[in-house]
Amino acid sequence: MSALRESPAWRALAEHQPGVAQLHLRELFARDPDRARRFSAEAAGWRLDYSKHRITDETLERLFALARERGLEARRDAMFAGEKINTTEHRAVLHVALRAPADAVILVDGENVVPQVHAVLERMAACAEQIRAGAWLGYSGLPIRNIVNIGIGGSDLGPVMAYEALRHYSERGLRVRFVSNVDGTDFAETVRDLVPAETLFIVSSKTFTTLETMTNARTAREWLLAAAEDEQAVRRHFLAVSTNEAAVNAFGIPTEQMFGFWDWVGGRYSMDSAIGLSTMIAIGPQAFREMLAGFHAMDEHFRTAPLERNLPVIMGLLSVWYADFFGAGTVAVLPYEQYLKRFPAYLQQLTMESNGKHVTLAGEGVDYPTSPVFWGEPGTNGQHSFYQLIHQGTWLIPCDFIAFAQTLNPLGRHHDLLIANVIAQAEALARGKTLDEVLAEGAPPELAPHKVFEGNRPSSLLLAERLTPATLGALVALYEHSVFTQAAIWDINAFDQWGVELGKQLALRVAEEIRTTDAELAHDASTNAAIAWYREQRGRAKTPSRRILVLDVGGNHVKVRLSDGEEGFKLDSGPDFTPEQLLAAVRRHVPDEAFDLVSIGVPAPVVRGRIVREPHNLGKGWKDFDFARAFGRPVKLVNDAAMQALGSYEGGRMLFLGLGTGLGSTLIVDGSVQPLELAHMPYRKHSFEHYVGDRARERYGLKKWRARVFAVVEALRDGLEPDYVVLGGGNVKYLDELPEGVRRGDNARAFVGGVRLWEIAA
Ligand SMILES: O=P(O)(O)OC[C@H]1O[C@](O)(CO)[C@@H](O)[C@@H]1O
């Protein structure tokens, strides 16, 4: 038998448990009207009501005795002193140093680490301010507006949770997203509507070797370079958070753009280190510091409060009580706060990667359950899902209810109802409903047993005034130290994670066996069969085909090109050209099986994929023509200028003017194409097109035409306030100079636009 099970305090608890197991919470409350007050404690803005637990004063005394016997206080002090308590990795465990005030002194190997922490925080703050002010520019000169954190585990869950939790305090002009899974869908869906020129990636990885993160980071690099076409762009669009400078540099991220942390910060304890850079960019340095202050307040409470009033200690001991003495295998975490929707997922790594261990610090097998499974969903959604089992199922599931007095989004009675629900759920779980009560309500006898609630289901109520950066920091620290307390009792190492290694190693081996399709398989029969199945399926599977036929229809020609073909070619069009002629010409030149999708740019106004007026410079029959039917393929129709514009687009708000037979015009705002038809709008004595179209150039001569183009650009720039203007179309070649700040488009970009039509909103 293990030393823990043989210890006097453990034995005392084991002897005491059957008596407590007989007691009902109804009875305990009835006996002691002061129970709620006596079994509540406060710290760092949080109030823990633990009166609805299946405990008596004696239980608590025995649990605190266990904590003392296991040397909890000494272990805690060793952590704060920077001792190498992560014995299997020979590391100190100092996430508490990440939130220590600047004048604190915490030594690791004789060196005070606090100044390093604050130096990194200052660099993070400078970077975050620059991005928030719109002063960090991407390769095309536009400000960064999208932040994508690439990381996994502790390099993802903390940042995601904190961003969601503190969204209310975030800069809404920035889009902050997270990619973690090696499943390509995660990356693809995350960047789907983002413009590379405005997107900054933060590659967050302590080791900078994690398979998932590095695979996603390389894909992000390719995605950026497909648009930027210049390696130099990587510097402007990538930051790194890591302890591995050499690997960061090898990726192409300079050291000035790397934010470091230290081996004494565990991944799941790192959301307040540089790993929180995305959080800081979202909420700003000041709010980030408030969050750190909240963490620190709870750290100080844990470090100094007597065990009997110490929130993390009480929570940790209760966890041990249920896991080891009631056989409760899980704990439900139920935040009644929508902003905390990712908190249960975050806690899963914190609790289970920390305390899901099977040997003691000395390497001996444990003969008692260690970490329970943590899970949960925000209230009230869970009530309409799994609460049934908590109320009437056969498992004992202690619950942590989390709620705030004030909502950040006051809306009618919503918050009163939310809080009424959390209070009522805790009451219902504790109290239950007896058979007599059910019958007294008039339930038919045969139905009565179904309506009985045993009650006596334990829960904690964690309450704070308001969700702020500080209360969030304190909440996370509360759970961190609760985890520490449990590990101290169980005599396990909460700071290593050897359990994730075997799967990683085997995945590498299997990946290689999939790649080299003929390598002999030497796993068990089931594993061999799964690999063989995938090899076969993979060989057969056709990547969903997306070969796009792009048709750029103009007044004189139609340019034709296939997305997987070589050079494009031209067909003749003209003032009598009809859609039927277009179809016939395409069929003559392009085999039907050569494409799956069609993009068509037409010199006519197109609204929501429909031609709304016949083109001026072509024949009749274009409006309402059913191209999808005629081609037998999905077709996207767009105005020809819009198609070229889409190909020239580099983010932000772009006005595109196409100088050709007529005047094409398109505005693209944040990737969304806004149809415009400015050509025939009144301008001076005629219309815009009258002054800058092909006929005007022929009639008035180049000099006048150029001056008029400049005047039209100016007028439209004043009216539409774009970030930049691109002048495209065939006639842009007649302009030697361009108005200031205007870029020259390239006709060939129409093809790119045609392909992009299938990627972004139009
Ligand atoms: O930050 P890294 O080194 O990419 O590691 C990510 C995660 O992988 C683990 O090492 C194992 O899952 C976690 O502890 C860690 O949070």
274 and 148 within one domain = yes
566 and 532 within one domain = no
Please tell me which residue in 168, 414, 504, 704 is annotated as part of the active site.
504
Judge whether 501 counts as a catalytic residue: no
pLDDT of residue 309: 98
> Residue 542 — very low, low, confident or very high, per pLDDT cuts 50/70/90?
low
Q: Which of residues 745 and 63 earns the better pLDDT score? A: 63
Give the three-state DSSP class for 179. Answer: strand
Pick the last residue of a domain from 643, 660, 689. Answer: 643
707 and 735 within one domain = yes
Worst-scoring range by mean pLDDT, 189-198, 225-234, 350-359? 225-234
User: Stretch 70-96: mean pLDDT, rounded?
Assistant: 97
626 and 697 within one domain = no
- Highest-scoring range by mean pLDDT, 517-521, 624-628, 639-643: 624-628
Q: Is the CB of 756 under 6 A from ligand 1?
A: no
pLDDT of residue 680: 86
pLDDT of residue 593: 86
Q: For residues 452 and 458, what is the distance between their CA atoms, to the nearest angstrom? A: 17
**Does residue 88 register a pLDDT over 50?**
yes
261 and 162 within one domain = yes
Q: Is the CB of 159 under 6 A from ligand 1?
A: no
Cβ 655 vs Cβ 722: under 8 Å? yes
294 in a structural domain: no
483 in a structural domain: no
User: Stretch 734-760: mean pLDDT, rounded?
Assistant: 85
Q: Is the CB of 504 under 6 A from ligand 1?
A: no
Judge whether 589 counts as a catalytic residue: no
Q: Which of residues 545 and 632 earns the better pLDDT score? A: 632
**Does residue 762 register a pLDDT over 50?**
no
384 and 238 within one domain = no
Worst-scoring range by mean pLDDT, 177-181, 369-373, 457-461, 685-689? 685-689
pLDDT of residue 567: 78
**Does residue 707 register a pLDDT over 60?**
yes
**Does residue 224 register a pLDDT over 90?**
yes
- Tell me the pTM: 0.82
pLDDT of residue 210: 94
Ligand 1: which atom is nearest the Cα of residue 212?
A: 4
Question: Ligand 1: which of 202, 355, 497 to mutate, judged by most atoms within 8 Å of the beta carbon?
Answer: 497
Tell the residue number behind the tokens 């760092």, with chain if given: 44
**Does residue 206 register a pLDDT over 80?**
yes
> Residue 227 — very low, low, confident or very high, per pLDDT cuts 50/70/90?
confident
220 and 151 within one domain = yes
Judge whether 353 counts as a catalytic residue: yes
481 in a structural domain: no
Q: Which residue range is the domain that position 266 belongs to? A: 107-286
> Residue 760 — very low, low, confident or very high, per pLDDT cuts 50/70/90?
low
91 in a structural domain: no
Per-residue pLDDT tens over the stretch 390-433: 999 999 999 999 999 999 999 999 999 999 999 999 999 999 99
Please tell me which residue in 90, 229, 384, 567 is annotated as part of the active site.
384
Cβ 333 vs Cβ 99: under 8 Å? no
Worst-scoring range by mean pLDDT, 124-128, 203-207, 345-349, 544-548? 544-548
**Does residue 644 register a pLDDT over 90?**
no
527 and 459 within one domain = no
280 in a structural domain: yes
How much of the chain is helix, strand and coil, in % rounded to 5?
A: 50, 15, 35
317 and 455 within one domain = yes
Ligand 1: which atom is nearest the Cα of residue 270?
A: 16
- Angle ∠(417,157,77) on CA atoms, nearest 5: 95
447 and 321 within one domain = yes
Share of the chain above pLDDT 70, in %: 99
Q: Is the CB of 152 under 6 A from ligand 1?
A: yes
What domain count does the chain have? 5
Phi-psi region of 652 (alpha: psi -120 to 50; beta: other; left: phi over 0): left
Q: Is the CB of 270 under 6 A from ligand 1?
A: no
Per-residue pLDDT tens over the stretch 497-522: 999 999 999 999 999 899 887 889 99
600 and 582 within one domain = yes
The interface pTM score, or ipTM, of the predicted complex is: 0.95
Cβ 382 vs Cβ 339: under 8 Å? no
Please tell me which residue in 164, 290, 353, 689 is annotated as part of the active site.
353
454 and 327 within one domain = yes
Per-residue pLDDT tens over the stretch 451-478: 999 999 999 999 999 999 999 999 999 9
The tokens for 214 are 């590095």
